[in-house]
């Protein structure tokens, strides 16, 4: 017995599912704007909400002319009007009127202030990162500008709560100076012997790894000191030392000395021949 199937009627077209439209809150919509426009919108609305918070019954603070040139600066950008409505105003005729007096304008002011502060900090960090890229990467002796700065959300290994508990109890805590050695091998491009981890178990197509970076901790205690990074740079085929804002090329022997105070090692898998 044949089963029936739905067939579009003649002349009609089957609808294809489209991408769902992104639903944003008024705060999220305004946050899509450049910071210069965001800043003007936040400053204006914070002043309005501050007056309503302090004098909620004052008529002149509860009515805004939609034809006002200043208000037009708020209404023109995408999301500006929706944020004004979020603040508790409704459009009646040619004026925006504050909603019922029971609306907590103080809470709205506090929420908008927190949001504006977060967006300001995000914009400042982005501008700072761009400035660092423009100033510092030009001075790198690696011959290229490298990838853009990225913020890593992970965490490096810590010294553990045990060390902190000992220190808080007044007991001394010192760093274990275990020396780690990776033999030099001038036949290898990076100057170090390859690391064979086949005995550990199946690690993928290749079990051979090569050193690509070292983070060195200089100091006698786990709670203080200085960190220096030694990284292999593919474009120049050289090791480089990154010490705060100073970057300089180094040879494998210098990297070998840093292994004595290594904090974190980074290895790359060597592709199968």
Distance CA 35, CA 116 (A): 10
- pLDDT tens-place string over residues 52-63: 888 888 888 888
> Is residue 6 a contact partner of residue 72, using CB atoms and an 8 Å limit?
no
> Is residue 71 a contact partner of residue 89, using CB atoms and an 8 Å limit?
no
pLDDT, position 228: 92
pLDDT-derived band of residue 12, with 50, 70 and 90 as boundaries? very low
Q: What is the DSSP letter of 250?
A: E
- Kindly tell me if the per-residue pLDDT of 169 is higher than 70: no
Nearest to 76 by CA among 68, 148, 47, 1: 68
∠ CA 143-147-148, nearest 5°, is 125
What is the reported pTM? Answer: 0.46
Q: What is the DSSP letter of 33?
A: S
- pLDDT tens-place string over residues 79-92: 889 999 998 898 98
Percent of the chain scored above 90 by pLDDT? 28
CA 77 to chain centre: 26
Percent of the chain scored above 70 by pLDDT? 70
> Is residue 232 a contact partner of residue 221, using CB atoms and an 8 Å limit?
no
- Radius of gyration, CA atoms only, the chain: 30
The whole-chain average pLDDT of the chain stands at 78
pLDDT-derived band of residue 15, with 50, 70 and 90 as boundaries? very low
Mean pLDDT calculated for residue range 153-163? 53
3-state secondary structure of 133: helix
pLDDT, position 203: 59
> Is residue 218 a contact partner of residue 225, using CB atoms and an 8 Å limit?
yes
pLDDT-derived band of residue 273, with 50, 70 and 90 as boundaries? low
Q: Which domains does the chain have, with CATH numbers?
A: 26-120 (1.20.58.2190), 177-269 (no CATH)
């Amino acid at each position: 017995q044949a089963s029936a199937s739905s067939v579009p009627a003649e002349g009609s077209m089957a609808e294809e599912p489209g991408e769902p439209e992104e639903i944003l809150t008024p705060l999220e919509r305004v946050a899509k704007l450049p910071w210069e426009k965001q800043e003007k919108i936040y400053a204006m609305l914070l002043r309005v909400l501050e007056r309503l918070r302090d004098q909620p019954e004052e008529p002149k603070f509860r009515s805004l002319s939609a034809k006002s040139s200043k208000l037009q600066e708020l209404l023109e950008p995408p999301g500006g009007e929706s944020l004004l409505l979020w603040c508790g105003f409704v459009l009646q005729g040619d004026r925006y009127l504050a909603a019922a007096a029971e609306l907590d304008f103080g809470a709205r002011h506090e929420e908008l202030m927190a949001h504006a502060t977060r967006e300001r900090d995000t914009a400042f960090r982005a501008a700072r990162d761009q400035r660092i890229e423009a100033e510092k990467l030009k001075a790198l002796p690696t011959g290229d500008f490298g990838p853009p700065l990225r913020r890593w959300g992970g965490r490096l290994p810590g010294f553990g709560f045990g060390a902190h508990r000992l220190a808080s109890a007044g007991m001394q805590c010192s760093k274990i100076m275990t020396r780690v050695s990776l033999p030099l091998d001038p036949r290898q491009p990076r100057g170090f012997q390859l690391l064979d981890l086949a005995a550990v178990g199946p690690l993928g197509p290749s079990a051979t790894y090569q050193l690509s970076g070292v983070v060195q901790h200089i100091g006698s205690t786990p709670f203080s000191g200085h960190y220096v990074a030694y990284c292999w740079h593919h474009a120049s085929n050289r090791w480089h030392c990154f010490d705060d804002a100073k970057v300089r090329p180094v040879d494998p022997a210098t990297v070998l000395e840093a292994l004595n105070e290594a904090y974190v090692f980074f290895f790359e898998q060597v592709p199968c021949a």
